[in-house]
Amino acid sequence: MDIFQKQIIRTETGSVKWDRTKEVFGTSDVLPMWVADMDFEAPQEVKKALVERVEHGVFGYTFPNAAAKEAIMKWTETRHQWKISSEEAMLFSSGVVTALSVVIQALTEKGDKVLLQSPVYTPFFTMIEENERVVENSPLLLEDSRYYINFEDLESKLSQPEVKMMLICSPHNPSGRAWTEEELRQIGDLCIKHGVTAVSDEIHSDLMLFGKRHYPFASLGKEYAQQCITCIAPSKTFNLAGLQASAIITENKDFRDKIAAVQHKNGQFGLNAMAITAMKAAYETGSAWLDQLLVLLENHTAALTAFIEDRIPEIKVMKPDASYLIWLDCRGTGLSDQELKHQLLYKGKLALEPGPKYGSGGEGFVRINIGTPLATLQEGLLRLEKAFR
Ligand SMILES: Cc1ncc(COP(=O)(O)O)c(C=O)c1O
């Protein structure tokens, strides 16, 4: 059987996606296609490595060793032509959100402004605000169902002396837009010119679709690498989010020392044994599994697009360049966000991420997660249609 068609019951496993719908949406009678994890088993080799680690039976303190670091370096080089200079360039974090928070704490001061581009992944806002920094927004431009950067606006905001950092979502969640090399260079040039630290969240970067390429910010050249911190993780790629492993990579020693000092102050040391084992195994052995997944995601994107064009033409599908999250433009339904939410939940019995969660520009949109077996996707699409009929 195709490994991606296996129906796995995830309820009562402490799954946020499957077990927290009542708490989040007020009803558990819904098909969950919201949180960004997939309903697939991790690659067989990763499961095997974890079983062997469990069988070893000793779970004392662990740290990401040279073999784990080497696995990451090989992965970024073979998959993205990004050569990390040395193992020293890497720090570790139990997740990318934690990493964003630590980086903000380490490299900005209370009251500083941190720039983001809405609509964007919600914790970009919350990590800035909860650390008592100020959000500076340079909203993305929407043209013909695709996002673009308003470079004039971006420069005017980055040039403010209070703006110390920019968070880049690359590829972009919620739309799946991959930034081109040219766009990233332009961002980088502006950050360098105005002395703004670039933080590039590349958690979705392994999930490139339709022949698109990911350009790691740090691979664009030495001066870009010195200006940035990159966050990567195997969690989206190989569906390992519950194991909480991620890497913070920067060639800038000063940044690294400051980040390490905050981690130390917070008592954050290393990664847990399962996180390290899974991360190493995934990067060492997961390539073939990932290639199969990408074909499936392209097929699912095509199936969703065809269904919606045919049956719910008032909704516009934003074609993703990457990942398993699809941004649906529901403004043509004429419904308010409240009405959209209500109809999806109570008519369609479908839990999707509401667009306003992603900040301004998200109004009238919802985000659907297609990282699920085809039968579940088809059920979700029928529910989506029902919500609007
Ligand atoms: C852009 C982005 N960054 C970070 C995360 C979460 O990362 P983690 O689970 O490692 O904290 C997500 C999850 O959806 C994401 O989309």
Q: In terms of domains, do 256 and 358 share one?
A: no
Task: Kindly state the average pLDDT of the residues 292-302.
Answer: 98
Query: CA 292 to CA 376: how far, in whole Å?
Result: 18
Q: How confident is the model at residue 118 (pLDDT cuts 50, 70, 90)?
A: very high
Instruction: Give a yes or no: residue 103 inside a domain.
Output: yes
Give how many domains the chain has, as a whole number.
Answer: 2
Amino acid 1: pLDDT:
63
φ/ψ region of 221 (left if φ > 0, alpha if ψ in -120 to 50, else beta) reads left
Q: Does 311 share its domain with 182?
A: no
Q: What is the pTM of this model?
A: 0.98
- Other CB atoms within 10 Å distance of the CB of residue 353: 22
pLDDT tier for residue 300 given thresholds of 50, 70 and 90:
very high
Kindly indicate the confidence band of residue 270, based on its pLDDT and cuts at 50, 70 and 90.
confident
Q: Per residue in 325-378, pLDDT tens? A: 999 999 999 999 999 999 999 999 999 999 999 999 999 999 999 999 999 999
Residues 119 and 239 in one domain: yes
Q: Of 249, 284, 319, which residue sits at a domain end? A: 284
In a domain, 141, yes or no: yes
Cα 168 to ligand 1 centroid, rounded to whole Å: 12
The answer on pLDDT for 220 being more than 90 is: yes
Q: Which ranges of 38-112 would DSSP assign to H, the alpha helix?
A: 44-56, 66-80, 96-107
CATH number of the domain within which 338 lies: 3.90.1150.10
Q: State in Å: Cα 203 to ligand 1 middle.
A: 6
Instruction: Name the pLDDT band for 144 (thresholds 50, 70, 90).
Output: very high
Is residue 210, in this structure, part of any structural domain at all?
A: yes
**DSSP state letters, 215-238:** --GGGG-HHHHHHEEEEE-STTTT
- CA atoms of 289 and 275, how far apart (whole Å): 19
Q: What pLDDT score was predicted for residue 269?
A: 83
* pLDDT recorded at residue 336: 98
50 within some domain:
no
Q: Are 195 and 178 in the same domain?
A: yes
What tens digit of pLDDT does each residue of 366-375 get? 999 999 999 9
- The pLDDT, as a whole number, for residue 318 is 98
- Mark whether 361 and 376 lie in a shared domain: yes
Query: Do both 172 and 201 map to the same domain?
Result: yes
Q: Are residues 296 and 279 in the same domain?
A: no
How many Å lie between the centroid of ligand 1 and the Cα of residue 246? 10
My answer on whether 331 and 270 are in the same domain is: no
Residue 362 has which token pair? 């998200």
Q: Assess whether 34 and 101 both reside in one domain.
A: no
Ligand 1 pocket test, pick from 96, 98, 179, 202 with the greatest ligand atom count within 8 Å of Cβ, gives 96
For residue 192, what pLDDT is reported?
98
Specify the 3-state DSSP secondary structure of 297.
helix
Which residues form the domain of 219? 58-284
For 54-69, letters b (16+ CB in 10 Å) and e give eeeeeeeebebeeebb
Residue ranges around ligand 1 (CB below 6 Å): 36, 95-97, 121, 169, 173, 201, 203, 233, 235, 241, 246
* Residue 233 Cα: closest atom of ligand 1: 10
Of the candidates 365, 359, 290, 376, the residue with the CA atom closest to the CA atom of residue 120: 359
Tell me, yes or no, whether 258 and 302 share the same domain: no
Interval 150-205: pLDDT, tens = 999 999 999 999 999 999 999 999 999 999 999 999 999 999 999 999 999 999 99
**Boundary of a domain, candidates 284, 313, 345:** 284
Higher pLDDT, 2 or 379: 379
In a domain, 10, yes or no: no
Atom of ligand 1 nearest to the CA of 37: 14
The mean pLDDT value for 83-95 works out to 97
pLDDT given at position 188: 98
Rounded to the nearest angstrom, the distance between the alpha carbon of 97 and the centre of ligand 1 is 6
Give distance in angstroms: CA of 135 to centre of ligand 1. 19
Ligand 1 pocket: which of 15, 37, 199, 203 to mutate (most atoms <8 Å of CB)?
Answer: 203
Question: What proportion of the chain, given as a percentage, has pLDDT over 70?
Answer: 100
